[in-house]
A and B are shown apart, each in its own frame.
Chain A
């Protein structure tokens, strides 16, 4: 299974993402944002956390219009898998691959701690190994993680079972405590919490491992 990790100026979770993917058994290539094509044969593209382009204009806005973004959109439209974490989630909403927007945390503070999450759906390659209803703990570290969308979009996300994770407690003001969502074909996941920061005993938790094992398992079986 081959994964690509996109690197923007200001990405800072790109290497953690590569380590987590390799630990789960993936072959990983880093992809610089100026590339106009993705390496051939990628099954999964990860858009990592960080502060791409210094969060200028809006978080993820400039990254969403970088040369590699066109290739990323094409990969998703072909039915390829995409994982966006934190700033990666912001990039995915800015590209239009996921609905809604990530706004400033309602408490205005940067939130950096481990939070409890509920896995809302097990019906995705990313969450299959957890199963719906499982409570896990993952770190969050963001200033703009307040997920907002209009009521119709929120109803649709819930109605189509596309909410992947929900905060078990209020963290940043997100509508309906949404922490992660899936695309219509369930192959694009955007989430604010960091599964790649919870894959080793040294991280203080390993509850992110199942996400990587889950997607690797599905892709290796395919």
Chain B
């Protein structure tokens, strides 16, 4: 089974990389981009029977720094 974890900076935390991407899109002529947030996607290959609670613990302990980041778990 697979799980997909999406880690994003919490809203309200300045994302300088996202800002840089927004500026670059503007420079390319895409005028309608009002905001960009950059995060990361982590795909996990898991043994059958791994629970969502275990993946949640993985996120809290390592995959996300919950001081600044939020995460979302999906089982695609």
Contacts and interface: CB of A to CB of B under 8 A. Distances in A.
B76 to A, nearest CB: 21
A30 interface: no
Contact of A103 (B20, B63, B68): B68
Contacts of A104: 16-17
Interface residues of A, number: 19
Interface residues of B, number: 11
B62 interface: yes
Given A65-B61, A65-B62, A108 B16 contact: yes
A75 interface: no
A105 interface: yes
Contacts of A93: 67
A176 to B, nearest CB: 14
A94 B69 CA distance: 13
A214 interface: no
Contact of B65 (A61, A106, A107, A146): A61
A179 to B, nearest CB: 18
Given A61-B62, A100-B67, A103-B68, A148 B16 contact: no
A149 B67 contact: yes
B25 interface: no
B40 to A, nearest CB: 9
